[in-house]
Every structure is written in structure tokens, then in C-alpha cells.
Amino acid sequence: MDEGNKRPTATAVSMTRRDVLTAAIAVAGSTLVAEAPLRSEPSGFKSAITTVFWVGEPSNAENNFIPNHQSYWDKDWQASYGGVDDPDHRDGHWPAGFRPKENPFYVALPYGEFTDADLLKISARRIPWYRSGVSPLLKNRWVEIRRNGLSCFAQWQDVGPCGEDDFDFVFGDATMPLNVFDTRAGLDVSPAVWHYLGMRDNDLTGWRFVAEADVPEGPWTETVTTSRNNR
């Protein structure tokens, strides 16, 4: 998108994981609506209450005082991304005012592979694609998110909501996350994902991991994140 054509848009909406109003959808307009849903429901999806979060989100009671200027894998996440991914000021799928250096389609899931001493957790060796020496192991992995027959694809860029040890929900058979905070969400999605799926409030979605080779072209492939761990 031509930088000279960006149209910063201001609203009075204050978006949080719990309190997202419809004004943000109206501001972005029809550019946020995907063209067509998939025709059949694929198998292998896990349901989760889904909330919105963003690069540069400040810490407050609504997000359990977890700031997002850094991520689980990148202590300089906001700088790496190129700015704050403000959900209230959008230009289509993109944040208004700058072109992000990393994929604006991203998610957080409640498992991280490292201990407090930055060693690999024993449970990480049970990750389906684990192989000795694979790095990054989780960062940048592709996820498909599905709502009302519509699919969106995004990369795993942070850990949460409100948990980093929920192996059974992320990789096992558990149908509910361990998270008991607020809406007990099991998936956080970026503003781009939120808008693409037409979400107006916290809602159930289905999600599953997908191989990079199976990710179709779309706005999520315009800028693909390839950076490594920077803890």
C-alpha cells in the first residue's frame, strides 16, 4: 500500500480484550471484510473464547497488567514491529500511519517452551514438530482461525492469554484452557485478525496449527514474520 495514501482515523473507542465496541469495525469499512468463506468445515479445530490484543498495548486491569511492548520471544517487539498496532486507528488491515515491519496477522496461545532459566521445558519435547536444534520452535508458526465459516491465517508471536504452561490445551486433548482470568480466553488475536473475521466482541472461534505450505495467499502473506527469538 502506498504510504502516501494512508488515512489515519481517530475514534473515541477504547478497545481492550474485554470491551471492544463496533465503532472500530465501522471506521475501517469494507476493506476489513474477507471476500468469501471456505465452503466446508475442516476438522481438527479447537474452540476457544477469543480476545483481542496488540503490539504496544499498555498494561491495565483489563489485560491482567500484562504490557505488550515486548513479547515472550522478543524483548523489543514494538520496535521490531515498527510501532503500536493501534486497534482504533487503522488503514484497512494495517495500522494507520506506518507500514509494519512484521506480519499484522498474529496470535498468542498459552504455552511457551522456555523455563525461567531460558532452558527448554521437558514438555516442549512433546511438541509434534520438535526436533533437536529447531529454532525458533514456536515463534512464527502458522495458525488458522475460523469463525462463522470464515478462515483467517496468522503467525504465533506471543504467549497468552494469561498463561504460558498450558501444554494440554495448546498441544493436547484439553478442550478448555487453564486460564481463569476474566472471560477465560484461550486465544488472543491481533486487530487485523479480529477485523478480518468481523468480530465485534469476545467470541468463540476455532483454531488449529497449519503447515506453512498450506497457508493460502492473502493479506497475511503480504508481510511474513521471519525474525528469530530475541529474549
Provide the percentage of residues in the chain whose pLDDT is more than 90: 72
List the domain boundaries for the chain: 43-221
pLDDT in tens, 149-200: 999 999 999 999 989 999 999 999 999 999 988 889 999 999 999 999 999 9
Q: Rounded to an integer, what distance in angstroms lies between the CA atom of residue 114 and that of residue 75?
A: 14
Q: Rounded to an integer, what distance in angstroms lies between the CA atom of residue 55 and that of residue 84?
A: 6
Across 39-43, 61-65, 210-214, 218-222, least confident range:
39-43
Q: Region 99-118: what's the mean pLDDT?
A: 97
204: which 3 cell numbers? 468463540
Would you place residue 17 in the very low, low, confident or very high pLDDT band (cuts 50, 70, 90)? very low
Fold that domain 43-221 belongs to in CATH = Barwin-like endoglucanases (2.40.40)
End-to-end Cα spacing for the chain: 31
**Residue-wise burial string across 13-44, b where 16 or more C-beta atoms lie within 10 A, e elsewhere:** bebbbbebeeebbebbeeebeeeeeeeeeeee
Q: Rounded to an integer, what distance in angstroms lies between the CA atom of residue 87 and that of residue 150?
A: 21
pLDDT value at 29 more than 60: no
pLDDT in tens, 35-90: 323 223 345 899 999 999 999 988 665 555 566 789 999 999 999 999 999 999 99
- The pTM (predicted TM-score) of the whole model is 0.80
